[in-house]
Amino acid sequence: MAKALAVKPDYGVDAPAVMRNLFLIGGFLWLLVFITPAHIHIGPADLLFHYPLAWTGSFLLVEGFLFLIYVKFGKFRHRDFMLSLYRWRGDERVLDVGCGRGLLLAGAAKLVPDGHATGIDVWSNVDMGANSAEATQHNLDLEGIAGRCSLVSAGAQQMPFEDATFDVIVSNLCLHNIYDKPTRQRALAEIARVLRPGGLALISDYKLTTAYAAQFREMGFVVTMKWGSFATTFPPLRVVIARKP
Ligand SMILES: C[S@@+](CC[C@H](N)C(=O)[O-])C[C@H]1O[C@@H](n2cnc3c(N)ncnc32)[C@H](O)[C@@H]1O
């Protein structure tokens, strides 16, 4: 039977298996604490077994809840924070690298009524739940901005765009998913290539941001970095702000 299409935009769950495992393993460790009878005693069994299990289980459950807060609320605040780092004219050509289900892409498209927003992705379902060009297109339709958006199915490391095509390039939680360092570096070089001189790249990630900044500096960009909110982004996200000379 065909799946009913959502009537509200749904920007999905990032890394769904990670979230599931945090709750499953955390819950399982607490179950072990409760089903083993010695949990009521204070003694060697508690010190060696129950306390480490309880602490580790609690740690994983707290991480799971913080991640859930990011997915449900924090990522919208982080998107707004990222987009506030650039002063929009309204006619820019924007690229969202690893757009997933279109969170940043839709946000940027709303800021460029006379411009165009392009999202590029390989639609990995490991990195983003129920990820597909169709799901993203449906979100863009529901947001009423499909007319000034396009989706491209390709990897960040080999983009099918001319040099200097975009005024602004944004990316959130994408590049760390390219595990191989030379390929990741090629993706950053591609971002530099397709950005116009004077254009701005805003690259947000939870790790490797120092390496991204160093590579941009080597390519002659002027680079600063800013942390997102520690209250609502988990894991904490840092944005590399790189201006092309
Ligand atoms: C965690 S999701 C984040 C999606 C979106 N940026 C957001 O913040 O909601 C990471 C996205 O990067 C995409 N991705 C992973 N490797 C990629 C690559 N080599 N080129 C383009 N996109 C990639 C995945 O398919 C996924 O959509």
Q: Is residue 188 within 6 Å of ligand 1 at its C-beta?
A: no
Q: Is the CB of 106 under 6 A from ligand 1?
A: no
User: What is the model's pLDDT at position 51?
Assistant: 80
CATH architecture of residue range(s) 77-243: 3-Layer(aba) Sandwich (3.40)
- Note if the bond before 235 is cis, omega within 30 degrees: yes
pLDDT of residue 43: 63
Atom of ligand 1 nearest to the CA of 174: 12
Give the Cβ contact number of residue 90 at 10 Å: 9
Residue nearest ligand 1's atom 10 by CA: 174
CA of 219 to the centre of ligand 1 (A): 24
Among the listed residues 230, 217, 207, 116, the one whose alpha carbon sits nearest the alpha carbon of residue 168: 116
Distance in Å, CA 17 to ligand 1 centroid: 15
Q: What is the pTM of this model?
A: 0.92
pLDDT at 1 over 50: no
119 lines ligand 1 (CB under 6 A): no
Q: Taking residues 91-96, report their average pLDDT.
A: 98
Confidence of residue 18 (pLDDT cuts 50, 70, 90): very high
> Considering only CA atoms, which residue is closest to atom 24 of ligand 1?
124
Q: Is 153 in the pocket of ligand 1 (CB under 6 A)?
A: no
Distance of CA 235 from the midpoint of ligand 1 (Å): 16
pLDDT at 227 > cutoff 50: yes
Nearest protein Cα to ligand 1, atom 4: 100
Paired tokens of 192: 């530099």
Please, what's the largest Cα pairwise distance for the chain? 70
The residue nearest atom 26 of ligand 1, judged by CA position, is: 100
- Distance between CA 59 and CA 74 in Å, rounded? 20
- Distance, in Å, from the CA atom of 152 to the CA atom of 137, rounded to the nearest integer, reads 11
Look at ligand 1, atom 14, and give the residue with the nearest C-alpha. Answer: 98
Q: Is the CB of residue 48 less than 8 Å from the CB of residue 89?
A: no
- The residue count for the chain: 245
Residue 103, amino acid: L
